[in-house]
């Protein structure tokens, strides 16, 4: 049986301002009805597979858990990387976890942030690769190129494999991102595919080849996962940070696939796109008669070839062409579609000036729900908070701020020092400085409230947690 291994790390800064460090593109709904992670899992429906194993970093753990829960795929199947060390170590952690109980599944390694339009063709390629992966080959899926793209690495095919028909080949070589004339030559030859970063192989075979070429990576990963650390939430597999942090940073291409004699390539022509830019999103989305791709409340007049996405405000575009306009609650991007690669310059500016907009949205997601910072001033904040049924804050106190909670809908169970009580719609409560308190939603519907924080210091490091339910400290 196939075990999908989904790589859900990465920052996705090329799709700022929607994609940010704490909420990157793989968790956004950019194409289709679900988030990109959920779409990746859902398109595997119909294959003979196990529940997926997802790898992500520590900061995204609750996002991943909630999104898997929403599609009924959460079952202690999230490996947390304490620090990013690229794809070779990440896949090693997955393979070691998979064989821990004596099993040796076939790993189908996928990125969480790719678009694949033709699911039947995708399934057919997986089915075609299956007997080769079962026999010990290391399969990579090469995307049939639609043009001389300079933004991707390429795979040159070698001889046809016996028994593979006309569509399975030995890998002759991997090549780096080419310049335009070289890319044109690659595509014209018919021998090259885009490197998709998708793979399929036996867990044991990958570990064997990794041990042959990069024993230092394998050794570090074995030490990191040999005794997983306990997890309060029971949804995560935690590896030892001290062991993993010394692991070399290396991609699976460099560590294994470029060195092994067992690499083969299966061509994939399934409407693949890694949506690495706003122009790529414009390409894959539906468009109106003037070639505009639109999401949200938008008015247009004499506007053509634009990608416009707005969270909640009305966007009016008049007499413009070839623009990307992205509006979020705390930032607006306007850029010519031909220059979308320069979004990185905005992110670099934000990082250099320690602006929060590169890292987090105005609205953030927590294990208990979400928080939208409506007003952010020096001595007071106003937050709109949603607590999901059964969700609760940690038992905590503050040295510098008081809080006032006003319930908009639902019912809140409040713990204040030695007292516990309920408040409901149009009722409020006051939390004095220094009081030990907790909020939880005991009901069946989401709890909505306004939280007004006031005091001389409002930083997150003034949250003194006494008891936590989610492994936050």
Classified as helix, coil or strand, 179 is: coil
- For the domain covering 363-467, report its CATH number: 2.60.120.10
Arithmetic mean of pLDDT, 27-36: 90
Q: Kindly give, in sequence order, each residue whose CB lies less than 8 Å from that of residue 201, ignoring residues fewer than 6 positions away.
A: 106, 107, 133, 137, 138, 139
> Which pLDDT score is estimated for 470?
72
53: pLDDT confidence band, cut at 50, 70 and 90? very high
SS (H, E, C) 183-212: HHHHHHHCCEEEEEEEEEEEHHHHHHHHHH
62: pLDDT confidence band, cut at 50, 70 and 90? confident
pLDDT digits (tens, 9 = 90+) for 83-106: 999 999 999 999 999 998 889 999
> Which pLDDT score is estimated for 472?
55
- For the domain covering 2-273, report its CATH number: 3.90.550.10
- What value does the CA radius of gyration of the chain take, rounded to a whole number of Å? 25
> Which pLDDT score is estimated for 226?
86
**Going edge to edge, which strands form the sheet with 395-397?**
419-424, 411-416, 437-440, 395-397, 464-467
The pLDDT of residue 249 is above 90 = yes
**Going edge to edge, which strands form the sheet with 363-366?**
363-366, 369-376, 380-387, 447-455, 401-409, 428-431
pLDDT digits (tens, 9 = 90+) for 355-404: 989 998 888 888 899 999 999 899 999 999 999 999 999 999 999 999 99
> Which pLDDT score is estimated for 230?
57
Residue pair 282/336 in contact (Cβ under 8 Å)? The answer is: no
Report the C-alpha gap between 28 and 77 in whole angstroms: 20
Q: Say what percent of the chain tops pLDDT 70.
A: 97
Which residues partner with 201 through β-bridges?
Answer: 107
Q: Report domain extents, the chain.
A: 2-273, 278-348, 363-467
Report the C-alpha gap between 76 and 73 in whole angstroms: 9
What does pLDDT average to over the chain? Answer: 93
Looking at 109-249, list the stretches that DSSP marks H as alpha helix, in order from N- to C-terminal side.
119-134, 180-189, 203-213, 215-225, 241-244
State which H helix or E strand residue 453 sits in: strand 447-455
> Which pLDDT score is estimated for 420?
97
> Which pLDDT score is estimated for 11?
76
Which residue is listed with tokens 């008669």? 289
Q: What share of the chain is helix, strand, coil (3-state, %, to 5)?
A: 25, 35, 40
The packing angle between helices 87-98 and 215-225, to 10°, is 50
> Which pLDDT score is estimated for 342?
95
Exposure pattern of 6-30 as b/e (b: 16+ CB <10 Å)? bbbbbbbbbbbbbbbbbbbbbbbeb
The pLDDT of residue 228 is above 80 = no
> Which pLDDT score is estimated for 58?
87
The pTM for the full model equals: 0.88
> Which of 32 and 348 is assigned the larger pLDDT?
348
State which H helix or E strand residue 423 sits in: strand 419-424
The pLDDT of residue 229 is above 80 = no
> Which of 228 and 157 is assigned the larger pLDDT?
157
Q: Look at strands 192-202 and 154-160 and give their pairing.
A: antiparallel
> Which of 167 and 352 is assigned the larger pLDDT?
352
Up-side HSE of residue 305: CA atoms within 13 Å toward CB? 9
The pLDDT of residue 413 is above 70 = yes
Residue pair 201/132 in contact (Cβ under 8 Å)? The answer is: no
DSSP 239: P
Q: Kindly give, in sequence order, each residue whose CB lies less than 8 Å from that of residue 222, ignoring residues fewer than 6 positions away.
A: 96
CA dist 318 → 258, 289, 312 (Å): 51, 16, 19
pLDDT digits (tens, 9 = 90+) for 124-179: 999 999 999 999 999 999 999 999 999 899 999 999 986 555 689 999 999 999 99
Which residues partner with 327 through β-bridges?
Answer: 310, 332
The pLDDT of residue 473 is above 70 = no
Task: Report the length, in residues, of the chain.
Answer: 473
Q: Kindly give, in sequence order, each residue whose CB lies less than 8 Å from that of residue 62, ignoring residues fewer than 6 positions away.
A: 365, 366, 367, 470
Q: Which of 123, 427, 126, 114 is nearest to 281 (CA)?
A: 114
DSSP 27: G
> Which pLDDT score is estimated for 167?
83
The pLDDT of residue 66 is above 80 = yes
Report the C-alpha gap between 406 and 404 in whole angstroms: 7
Q: Which of 273, 40, 265 is nearest to 146 (CA)?
A: 273
235: pLDDT confidence band, cut at 50, 70 and 90? confident
pLDDT digits (tens, 9 = 90+) for 175-201: 999 999 999 999 999 999 999 999 999
Classified as helix, coil or strand, 137 is: coil
Q: Look at strands 78-81 and 53-57 and give their pairing.
A: parallel
Report the C-alpha gap between 403 and 451 in whole angstroms: 7
233: pLDDT confidence band, cut at 50, 70 and 90? low
Arithmetic mean of pLDDT, 320-347: 96
Classified as helix, coil or strand, 54 is: strand
Q: What is the dihedral of CA 388, 393, 399, 400, to 10 degrees?
A: -10
> Which pLDDT score is estimated for 468?
82
Structure tokens at 462: 């003034």
> Which pLDDT score is estimated for 164?
53
Q: Which of 198, 192, 188, 224 is nearest to 100 (CA)?
A: 224
> Which pLDDT score is estimated for 166?
65
């Amino acid at each position: 049986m196939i075990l999908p291994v989904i790589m859900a790390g990465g920052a996705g800064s090329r799709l700022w301002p929607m994609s940010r460090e704490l909420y990157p593109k793989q968790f956004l709904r950019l194409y289709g009805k679900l988030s990109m992670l959920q779409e990746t899992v859902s398109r595997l429906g119909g294959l003979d597979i196990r529940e997926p194993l997802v790898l992500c970093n520590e900061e995204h753990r609750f996002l991943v858990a909630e999104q898997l829960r929403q599609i009924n795929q959460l079952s202690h199947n999230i490996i947390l990387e304490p620090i990013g060390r690229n794809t070779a170590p990440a896949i090693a952690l997955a393979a070691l976890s998979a064989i821990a109980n004596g099993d040796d599944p076939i790993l189908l390694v996928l990125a969480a942030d790719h678009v694949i339009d033709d699911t039947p063709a995708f399934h057919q390629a997986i089915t075609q690769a299956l007997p080769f992966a079962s026999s010990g080959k290391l399969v990579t899926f090469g995307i049939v190129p639609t043009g001389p793209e300079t933004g991707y690495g390429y795979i040159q095919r070698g001889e046809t494999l016996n028994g593979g028909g006309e569509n399975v080949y030995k890998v002759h070589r991997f090549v780096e991102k080419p310049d335009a004339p070289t890319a044109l030559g690659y595509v014209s030859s018919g021998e090259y595919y885009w490197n998709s970063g998708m793979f399929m192989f036996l867990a044991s075979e990958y570990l064997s080849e990794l041990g042959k070429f990069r024993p230092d990576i394998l050794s570090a990963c074995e030490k990191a996962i040999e005794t997983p650390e306990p997890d309060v939430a029971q949804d995560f597999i935690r590896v030892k940070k001290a062991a993993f942090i010394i692991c070399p940073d290396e991609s699976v291409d460099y560590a294994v696939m470029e060195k092994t004699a067992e690499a083969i390539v299966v061509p994939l022509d399934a409407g693949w796109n890694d949506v690495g830019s706003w122009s790529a999103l414009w390409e894959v989305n539906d468009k109106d008669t003037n070639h505009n791709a639109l999401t949200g409340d938008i008015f247009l007049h004499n506007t053509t070839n634009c990608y416009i996405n707005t969270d909640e405000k009305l966007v009016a575009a008049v007499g413009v062409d070839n623009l990307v306009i992205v509006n979020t609650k705390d930032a607006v991007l306007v850029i010519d579609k031909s220059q979308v690669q320069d979004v990185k310059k905005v992110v670099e500016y934000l990082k250099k000036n320690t602006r929060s907009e590169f890292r987090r949205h105005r609205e953030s997601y927590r294990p208990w729900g979400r928080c939208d910072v409506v007003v952010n001033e020096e001595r007071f904040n106003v937050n709109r908070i949603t607590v999901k049924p059964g969700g609760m804050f940690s038992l905590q106190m503050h040295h510098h701020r008081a809080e006032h909670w006003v319930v908009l809908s639902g019912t809140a169970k409040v713990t204040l020092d030695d007292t516990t009580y309920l408040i409901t719609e149009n009722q409020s409560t006051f939390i004095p400085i220094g009081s030990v308190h907790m909020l939880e939603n005991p009901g069946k519907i989401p709890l909505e409230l306004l939280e007004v924080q006031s005091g001389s210091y409002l930083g997150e490091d003034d949250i003194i947690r006494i008891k936590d339910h989610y492994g936050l400290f």
